[in-house]
Amino acid sequence: MKAAAGLALALAAGGAAAFGGPEVLEAWLPSFLLWTQFAIGALGVLAIGHLLREEWLAPIRPPLEAMARSLPMLALMAVPVLVAVETLYPWAAPEAGPQQGSRALVLAPLAFRLRALGYLLLWAVLGRALARPGRHQRLSALTLILLLPSALLAAHDWVLSRDPAWLPSLQGFAIWVEGLAGALALAILAAWRTPPRAEGLPGLERALLTLALAVLWLWFTQFIVVWMADRPEESGWYLRRLGDWGWVQLGVALPALLLAISLAAPPDHGRWRMTAVCLLLLVQHVAHLWWVVRPDAPSGAPPPWLDLVVAGGLGFAWVVWWDAEHRRRPATA
């Protein structure tokens, strides 16, 4: 099944890169980013759990390790993005002209592609190493040292550079923390087939609440900083998203996050409440990612049905790979 999923995805990626129009490529980008965030988020949660010797890691370790080992699949998903840099990123379009100063070294198609390959290779190696049996405190420390800067650079390259005027900020870190929350929520839902031991539940409750509060604080802080600084290029980034796209954030992502926090705050969640918190965090994660990525589409937004088809197809291939890895090593010591 895993080989079949990989072959199907390779063919789909090759077809999208060679024959996909701007709408297909635009639908491909947020789907690739979504599944990538789950994988590198799982890598971060694993590293934090090992480093702090947390009890809550044990029940969710198998699904997290399976997610971390899905990074080779994500390299296939990256193919259309790397081939179509000039279509997906306004700064790379021929009519944009050469970048000036230090941006010429960063916002260049060749440098973009080389960095992307470097990120994916680094994460794949770390994922394989951290998913081995045993305790990995030293490796986890090294993983976080390498993962954090690479994830922030990738967020700037793949997401924030769609607006060439955007400056480095807390946005990249907020995107990474949101990926941690999404990966933890997905792993908890996957682990319900073998319910966690009672001693691990309080830790999972605290971890979910902490990450949900961190997501809210980081996005709110970034908004306040931009509003107080009154920088036109950064204000324009928000204004584009509060127009036609405002309903995604204010009507879906923010209510889901606030409801998740309100349900996660009281202790002793119980199975149904923890499930609801995880589902709400996943809804928030998906909606917020589309809200961040889509308004800067150079060729406009694709039809919703195309978004659903591409996201569902890539998600199906990723879940098949993840499930195969999960079943191959269902538990680790």
Asked, for residue 37, whether it belongs to a domain, the answer is yes
Q: What is the pLDDT of residue 239?
A: 80
Report pLDDT digits (tens) over 8-44. Answer: 665 566 566 556 688 888 999 999 999 999 999 999 9
- CA pair distance 99, 108, nearest whole angstrom: 8
Residues 6+ apart with CB under 8 A from 50: 57, 130, 135, 136, 137, 139, 140
- CA pair distance 168, 166, nearest whole angstrom: 7
Q: What is the pLDDT of residue 222?
A: 82
Q: What is the pLDDT of residue 117?
A: 94
| Spatial contact of 205 and 267, defined as CB atoms under 8 Å apart | yes
Q: What is the secondary structure of 283-323 as a DSSP string? A: HHHHHHHHHHHGGG-TT-PPPHHHHHHHHHHHHHHHHHHHH
The tokens of 10 are what?
């390779």
Q: Which domain holds residue 250?
A: 2-97+104-328
Asked, for residue 27, whether it belongs to a domain, the answer is yes
pLDDT along the chain (333 residues), means of 10: 58 61 89 93 93 84 90 88 89 69 72 93 92 84 93 91 73 91 93 61 85 92 77 75 85 94 84 90 94 85 86 87 74 46
- CA pair distance 99, 272, nearest whole angstrom: 52
Angle at 188 between CA 182 and CA 189, to 5 degrees: 90
**Which residue type does 218 have?**
L
The tokens of 33 are what?
């980013």
Asked, for residue 333, whether it belongs to a domain, the answer is no
54: left (phi over 0), alpha (psi -120 to 50) or beta: beta
**Domain total of the chain:** 1
Asked, for residue 116, whether it belongs to a domain, the answer is yes
Q: What is the pLDDT of residue 332?
A: 46
**Alpha-carbon distances of 312 from 35, 38, 150, rounded to whole Å:** 11, 15, 27
Residues 6+ apart with CB under 8 A from 238: 223, 226
Asked, for residue 85, whether it belongs to a domain, the answer is yes
DSSP 166: P
Asked, for residue 253, whether it belongs to a domain, the answer is yes
Asked, for residue 186, whether it belongs to a domain, the answer is yes
